[in-house]
C-alpha cells in the first residue's frame, strides 16, 4: 500500500554521495527512505529479495551501485532493479555513473531506456577520496603511494554531486539530462597531495609505484580479489587521460561554477582530519 511517507529512496544512503543527499532531503522535511543493509527495510544489491519491500511506495530513486558499475554483473543487476522499480511505480531515476567507463555507459542506457523520467550524474574521482576513503590514512602517515603517473584528473566535490542529485529528485528542469560532472581544473594526484600538504602545513609526499607492486600491497592487506581488480582497473585503465578534459555539468545543473579543490582543502584541513598521528 502506498503511503505519504518514504517517497524518495536513496540507495547507498551511508556512502559519500548518499549520506549528503539524505541529509539535504531530511533538512528540507522531505520523506526519505534509506537504502542500505542496515536500514528498515534493509536493501542489499546482492539479495534481490530485499528490493521489493524497499521500493514499495517510492516515487523517485537515487541509484548508487556498490562497489562500482564496472564490476562483472553490475549492468545486469541495474537492469533487473530498474525493471522492478518501474513495475513498482517509480517515476524518477537518478543514476550516479562513472566517467570514462564503458560498463557505466551500458548502465546509463538501461536507465535511459526505462520509460520513466531520468537524470544521470556522470563523474569520476571525488575530492573526498582524500579525506573519507583509502587515501586518508596514507595522507595522515605522510606518504601517498599510488600506481599513477603524470595524468591530470578534474576531481569533483561530492557536495556538488549531492546538490544536483537533490534537485534532480525533487525539482522539474532536470528531466532526461546527462550531467558530466568535473571540478573547474584538472590536477595530477601529486599536485592534489601537494595542495593538501600546503593546506595542512605538513610534509606529505606522493610516490608513483608500479601497478604490480600496488597489487601486491592490496593482496597483502587482504583486499578481496574483486576489489583489487577494480582498483587496478580504475587506476591503470580509466586513469589514462581520457577523463582529463573539463565538463560543464555542474554549471548546467546549478547555474554556477563547480567548487574548487583548494576550497575543499581549506575546509577539510580545518576539521583536523589530516593531522599527523605523531
Which sign, positive or negative, has the C-alpha torsion 38, 227, 197, 238? negative
pLDDT tens track for 131-151: 998 899 999 999 999 999 899
What DSSP line would sit under 19-47, residue for residue?
A: HHHHHHHHHTT--EEEESTTSSS---TT-
Domain ranges of the chain: 8-124+158-182+245-259
Angstrom distance (rounded) from CA 251 to CA 47? 38
Q: What is the pLDDT of residue 133?
A: 86
Q: What is the pTM of this model?
A: 0.95
| Angle subtended by helix axes 102-112 and 74-87, to nearest 10 | 10
Angstrom distance (rounded) from CA 150 to CA 264? 22
pLDDT along the chain (278 residues), means of 10: 65 97 97 96 97 98 95 96 98 97 97 98 97 94 95 98 98 96 98 98 97 93 91 91 97 98 98 89
What DSSP line would sit under 59-95, residue for residue?
A: SEEEE--SS-TTSTTHHHHHHHHHHHHHHTT--EEEE
The CATH class, in words, for 8-124+158-182+245-259 is: alpha beta
Query: Are the beta carbons of 69 and 78 closer than 8 angstroms?
Result: yes
φ/ψ of 88, rounded to 5, equals -80, -5
Q: What is the pLDDT of residue 278?
A: 62
Q: What is the pLDDT of residue 6?
A: 57
Tell me which residue of 178, 182, 183 sits closest to 168, measured CA to CA.
178
pLDDT tens track for 144-197: 999 998 999 999 999 999 999 999 999 989 999 999 999 999 999 999 999 999
Amino acid at each position: 500500500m502506498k503511503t505519504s511517507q518514504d517517497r524518495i529512496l536513496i540507495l547507498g544512503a551511508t556512502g559519500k554521495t548518499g549520506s549528503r543527499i539524505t541529509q539535504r532531503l531530511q533538512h528540507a522535511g522531505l520523506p526519505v527512505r534509506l537504502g542500505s543493509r542496515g536500514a528498515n527495510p534493509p536493501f542489499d544489491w546482492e539479495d534481490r529479495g530485499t528490493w521489493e519491500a524497499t521500493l514499495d511506495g517510492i516515487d523517485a530513486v537515487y541509484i548508487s551501485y556498490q562497489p562500482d558499475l564496472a564490476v562483472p554483473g553490475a549492468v545486469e543487476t541495474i537492469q533487473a532493479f530498474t525493471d522492478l522499480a518501474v513495475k513498482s511505480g517509480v517515476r524518477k531515476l537518478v543514476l550516479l555513473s562513472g566517467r570514462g567507463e564503458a560498463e557505466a555507459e551500458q548502465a546509463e542506457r538501461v536507465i535511459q531506456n526505462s520509460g520513466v523520467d531520468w537524470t544521470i550524474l556522470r563523474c569520476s574521482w571525488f575530492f573526498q577520496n582524500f579525506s573519507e576513503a583509502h587515501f586518508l590514512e596514507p595522507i595522515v602517515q605522510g606518504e601517498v603511494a599510488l600506481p599513477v603517473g603524470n595524468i591530470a584528473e578534474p576531481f569533483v566535490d561530492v557536495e556538488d554531486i549531492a546538490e544536483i542529485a537533490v534537485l534532480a529528485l525533487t525539482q522539474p528542469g532536470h528531466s532526461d539530462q546527462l550531467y558530466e560532472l568535473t571540478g573547474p581544473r584538472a590536477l595530477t594526484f601529486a599536485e592534489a597531495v601537494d595542495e593538501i600538504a600546503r593546506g595542512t602545513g605538513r610534509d606529505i609526499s606522493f610516490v608513483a609505484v608500479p601497478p604490480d607492486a600496488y597489487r601486491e600491497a592490496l593482496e597483502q592487506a587482504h583486499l578481496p580479489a574483486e576489489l583489487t581488480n577494480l582498483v587496478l582497473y580504475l587506476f591503470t585503465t580509466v586513469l589514462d587521460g581520457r577523463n582529463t578534459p573539463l565538463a560543464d555539468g555542474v554549471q548546467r545543473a546549478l547555474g554556477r561554477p563547480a567548487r574548487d579543490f583548494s576550497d575543499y582543502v581549506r575546509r577539510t584541513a580545518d576539521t583536523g582530519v589530516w593531522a599527523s598521528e605523531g
